[in-house]
Amino acid sequence: GAEGVGLFRTEMLYMDRTSAPGESELYNIFCQALESANGRSIIVRTMDIGGDKPVDYLNIPAEANPFLGYRA
């Protein structure tokens, strides 16, 4: 009996794969999530990649402290 999705972490859609998901794949995933929510709220966090969540195919430059660099 959840009241909604507290945080839809979109970075998970980019992890554990060899290339980024395409627009139609992302669209279908979001549609499925919204349909499953059945009118309840979904809070979407845009991609939070880097630091503790590296994605090799995105070629994000190395930083001395990735938690305070490009992502901060």
Say which residues have a Cβ less than 8 Å from residue 70's Cβ, sequence separation at least 6: 50, 60, 61, 63
Candidate from 30-34, 63-67, 68-72 with smallest mean pLDDT: 68-72
Span 16-30, average pLDDT: 95
Mean residue pLDDT of the chain comes to 85
Q: Is the pLDDT of residue 71 over 70?
A: no
Q: How confident is the model at residue 26 (pLDDT cuts 50, 70, 90)?
A: very high
- Say if residues 47 and 71 touch (Cβ distance below 8 Å): no
Backbone angles phi, psi at 71, to 5 degrees: -80, -20
Distance, C-alpha 19 to centroid of its chain: 14
**What pLDDT does residue 31 have?**
95
Domain boundary assignment for the chain: 4-54
What would the pLDDT profile of 31-58 be if each residue is shown by its tens digit? 999 999 988 899 998 887 877 777 888 8
- Two tokens, residue 36: 């499953």
